[in-house]
A and B are shown apart, each in its own frame.
Chain A
Amino acid sequence: NAGVTQTPKFQVLKTGQSMTLQCAQDMNHNSMYWYRQDPGMGLRLIYYSASEGTTDKGEVPNGYNVSRLNKREFSLRLESAAPSQTSVYFCASSPPVGRNQPQHFGDGTRLSIL
């Protein structure tokens, strides 16, 4: 059981380049999330998807787009990367029922924008 899988694990981009971060979960979870983690800032929600076909903005959505391709996959796209988007990106998913079910996280993608 792989859980939440993120690809790639590391990436270096030049300013202005585009990039899609991939995320897939095999736990039949309805909800999926993208976070970014910056030093001293904790994790901040970029976008989330409550179910297949729906997406909503989180706390820091500017500069990003997302696609919920199907129930398993939720991708994050940087159309024109900026140095301020240098961060570690985490994908997470949560089950459809259960009042206290935690989110399950992928291992993260370290993204550097030069």
Chain B
Amino acid sequence: AQTVTQSQPEMSVQEAETVTLSCTYDTSENNYYLFWYKQPPSRQMILVIRQEAYKQQNATENRFSVNFQKAAKSFSLKISDSQLGDTAMYFCAFMKPSGGSNYKLTFGKGTLLTVNP
């Protein structure tokens, strides 16, 4: 079974600074997908960024980027120019296609990020 580990239960950063959230995973698969989801106090689960394991290039979405190290099984999220609205719980998730149209996600336990003014 796949496992996802987020070693930082809580982090804080000053507004406008950069912060990196860590995520490692364990799998014997070669083909898989990785995601970062954001859960603000409103409790919605919002997709932040995604990465396909077969792509060497790191994904980027505006202020959010990842450092994907496949050999090390590491998938960290970097948030640049942090904003107060980035305050949320962040979940790293692993997805292995299991056939047909069924894709199951395995989540880490989350990192609570607080952006301070």
With a cutoff of 8 Å between Cβ atoms, the chain B residues found around residue A12 in the complex are: none
- What total count of A-B pairs have CB within 8 Å? 60
Determine if A50 and B43 form an interchain contact, defined as CB atoms under 8 angstroms apart: no
Task: Count how many chain A residues have C-beta atoms less than 8 Å from C-beta atoms of the other chain.
Answer: 28
- With contact pairs A42-B108, A100-B52 given, residues A90 and B102 touching in the complex (Cβ less than 8 Å): no
How long is the Cα–Cα vector from A58 to B102 in the complex, in angstroms? 12
> Chain B's nearest CB lies how many Å from the CB of A32?
10
Q: How far is the CA of A51 from the CA of B103 in the complex (A)?
A: 12
Size bin of chain B's contact surface: 20 to 34
Whether the pair A102, B107 counts as a contact (CB closer than 8 A) is: no
Supposing A51-B101, A102-B35 touch, asked if A42 and B91 sit within 8 A by C-beta, the answer is yes
Q: Within the complex, what minimum Cβ distance (angstroms) separates B102 from chain A? A: 4
Closest to A4 in B: B45
Q: A41-B109, A42-B91 are in contact. Are A30 and B101 (CB under 8 A)?
A: yes
Which of B33, B91, B108 is within 8 Å of A100, CB to CB?
A: B33
Q: CB within 8 Å of A: which of B13-68?
A: 33, 35, 42-45, 47, 50, 52
Residues of B within 8 A of A (CB): 4, 9, 33, 35, 42-45, 47, 50, 52, 91, 97, 99-105, 107-110
> What 3 pairs between A and B have smallest CB-CB spacing?
A105-B45, A50-B102, A42-B107
